[in-house]
Amino acid sequence: MSETLKIIFMIFIVIGALFFALRITGWKMKKAADFIIRDLKLKEAFDPASAVDLPYTKSRLLNVGLRDYRPRALEELLKQDTVRMLEGGRYYLCGEHKLKGPDDRSGT
Protein backbone atom coordinates (compact mmCIF):
# COMPACT_ATOMS: atom_id res chain seq x y z
CA MET A 1 0.00 0.00 0.00
CA SER A 2 1.36 3.43 -0.86
CA GLU A 3 2.12 6.07 1.76
CA THR A 4 -0.65 8.34 0.49
CA LEU A 5 -3.29 5.64 0.95
CA LYS A 6 -1.98 4.89 4.45
CA ILE A 7 -2.25 8.58 5.41
CA ILE A 8 -5.78 8.87 3.98
CA PHE A 9 -6.78 5.67 5.77
CA MET A 10 -5.41 6.98 9.08
CA ILE A 11 -7.24 10.30 8.62
CA PHE A 12 -10.51 8.40 8.13
CA ILE A 13 -9.83 6.33 11.25
CA VAL A 14 -9.20 9.48 13.33
CA ILE A 15 -12.36 11.17 11.98
CA GLY A 16 -14.36 8.01 12.68
CA ALA A 17 -13.02 7.79 16.24
CA LEU A 18 -13.87 11.44 16.86
CA PHE A 19 -17.39 10.97 15.48
CA PHE A 20 -17.85 7.86 17.64
CA ALA A 21 -16.67 9.69 20.78
CA LEU A 22 -19.05 12.60 20.12
CA ARG A 23 -21.97 10.21 19.60
CA ILE A 24 -21.24 8.46 22.90
CA THR A 25 -21.03 11.79 24.73
CA GLY A 26 -24.33 12.94 23.19
CA TRP A 27 -25.99 9.67 24.15
CA LYS A 28 -24.78 10.00 27.76
CA MET A 29 -25.96 13.63 27.92
CA LYS A 30 -29.44 12.63 26.70
CA LYS A 31 -29.55 9.80 29.22
CA ALA A 32 -28.57 12.22 32.02
CA ALA A 33 -31.22 14.74 30.91
CA ASP A 34 -33.88 12.01 30.88
CA PHE A 35 -32.77 11.01 34.39
CA ILE A 36 -33.16 14.60 35.65
CA ILE A 37 -36.62 14.98 34.10
CA ARG A 38 -37.75 11.63 35.51
CA ASP A 39 -36.33 12.54 38.94
CA LEU A 40 -38.23 15.85 38.99
CA LYS A 41 -41.45 14.09 37.92
CA LEU A 42 -41.11 11.50 40.67
CA LYS A 43 -40.55 14.28 43.22
CA GLU A 44 -43.56 16.11 41.70
CA ALA A 45 -41.66 19.36 41.23
CA PHE A 46 -43.96 21.07 38.73
CA ASP A 47 -44.09 24.66 39.99
CA PRO A 48 -42.06 27.05 42.19
CA ALA A 49 -43.99 25.99 45.31
CA SER A 50 -42.99 22.34 44.85
CA ALA A 51 -39.39 22.96 43.71
CA VAL A 52 -36.80 20.54 45.12
CA ASP A 53 -33.06 20.39 45.70
CA LEU A 54 -31.09 18.09 43.42
CA PRO A 55 -28.11 16.53 45.22
CA TYR A 56 -26.08 15.91 42.06
CA THR A 57 -25.90 19.62 41.18
CA LYS A 58 -23.30 20.25 43.86
CA SER A 59 -19.71 19.98 42.67
CA ARG A 60 -17.45 17.56 44.47
CA LEU A 61 -13.87 18.30 45.42
CA LEU A 62 -12.64 14.87 44.43
CA ASN A 63 -14.18 13.16 41.41
CA VAL A 64 -13.61 9.43 41.58
CA GLY A 65 -14.98 7.10 38.94
CA LEU A 66 -16.69 7.83 35.66
CA ARG A 67 -17.65 11.31 34.54
CA ASP A 68 -21.00 12.56 35.80
CA TYR A 69 -22.95 14.18 32.95
CA ARG A 70 -25.90 15.30 35.09
CA PRO A 71 -24.62 18.82 35.99
CA ARG A 72 -23.90 19.60 32.33
CA ALA A 73 -27.24 18.12 31.23
CA LEU A 74 -28.98 20.27 33.86
CA GLU A 75 -27.30 23.38 32.41
CA GLU A 76 -28.66 22.47 28.98
CA LEU A 77 -32.14 21.85 30.38
CA LEU A 78 -32.02 25.29 32.02
CA LYS A 79 -30.99 26.90 28.71
CA GLN A 80 -33.84 25.14 26.91
CA ASP A 81 -36.29 26.29 29.62
CA THR A 82 -37.35 22.72 30.33
CA VAL A 83 -36.26 23.08 33.96
CA ARG A 84 -36.24 26.29 35.96
CA MET A 85 -34.16 27.21 38.98
CA LEU A 86 -35.11 29.32 41.99
CA GLU A 87 -32.73 31.52 43.99
CA GLY A 88 -32.02 28.88 46.63
CA GLY A 89 -30.77 26.32 44.11
CA ARG A 90 -34.09 24.50 43.89
CA TYR A 91 -35.39 23.17 40.58
CA TYR A 92 -38.76 22.40 39.00
CA LEU A 93 -40.13 21.27 35.63
CA CYS A 94 -41.95 23.58 33.28
CA GLY A 95 -43.45 23.13 29.84
CA GLU A 96 -44.85 19.96 28.28
CA HIS A 97 -42.61 17.57 30.22
CA LYS A 98 -44.75 17.84 33.32
CA LEU A 99 -47.78 16.58 31.38
CA LYS A 100 -46.23 13.18 30.61
CA GLY A 101 -46.02 10.37 33.15
CA PRO A 102 -42.81 9.70 35.11
CA ASP A 103 -42.13 6.44 33.27
CA ASP A 104 -42.92 7.68 29.76
CA ARG A 105 -39.85 6.77 27.74
CA SER A 106 -41.51 6.67 24.32
CA GLY A 107 -41.17 10.43 23.83
CA THR A 108 -44.69 10.79 22.41
- Judging by DSSP bridges, how do beta strands 90-93 and 52-53 pair with one another? antiparallel
**pTM here?**
0.74
User: With bands split at pLDDT 50, 70 and 90, how would you rate the model's confidence at 108?
Assistant: very low
DSSP 3-state assignment of 72? Answer: helix
At 101, the pLDDT band (50, 70, 90 cuts) reads low
Mean pLDDT of 54-80: 82
Q: How many angstroms separate the CA atoms of 27 and 15, rounded?
A: 18
Mean pLDDT of the chain: 85
CB 40: neighbour CB atoms within 10 A? 25
